[in-house]
Amino acid sequence: MVDMRIQNMKVGEKFSTTPRVVTATDIETFCTLSGMVHPVFMSDSYVRSDTCSQAIGLTGRVAPGQLLLSIMMGSLMDSGILNDVVVQLGINNVKFTTPCYPYDM
């Protein structure tokens, strides 16, 4: 556990947490629960046959960014980095620069 207060963090600081694999079941469960059942998240065969998916270089279904943010926040909480955070009011300037496929870490 890290003993750190968010007020003392600086922009650009990096933190490590315990690695976690994003499984196909994680993606399916999150998408079903949230209603984000677009085939780009649910179907490898759709992505492989979709010209838009191919144009941006996808090779199979991907995890939604919202799932990745949830996993990130859980990892930060679990590690103790965000122990002093009671309510999250927003996240600014988040970008997803590479896709996350099932079984990526």
pLDDT digits (tens, 9 = 90+) for 38-86: 999 999 999 999 999 999 999 999 999 999 999 998 898 888 887 777 7
Q: Which residue bears the tokens 């968010």?
A: 6
The parent domain of residue 36 ranges over 20-105
19: Cβ–Cβ under 8 A, 6 or more apart, which residues?
A: 105
Query: Is 8 a member of any domain?
Result: no
pTM, two decimal places: 0.84
Total structural domains within the chain: 1
Inside any domain, residue 9: no
Retrieve residue 50's tokens.
């979709």
11 occurs within a structural domain: no
Minimal CA–CA distance to 104: which of 35, 40, 26, 52? 26
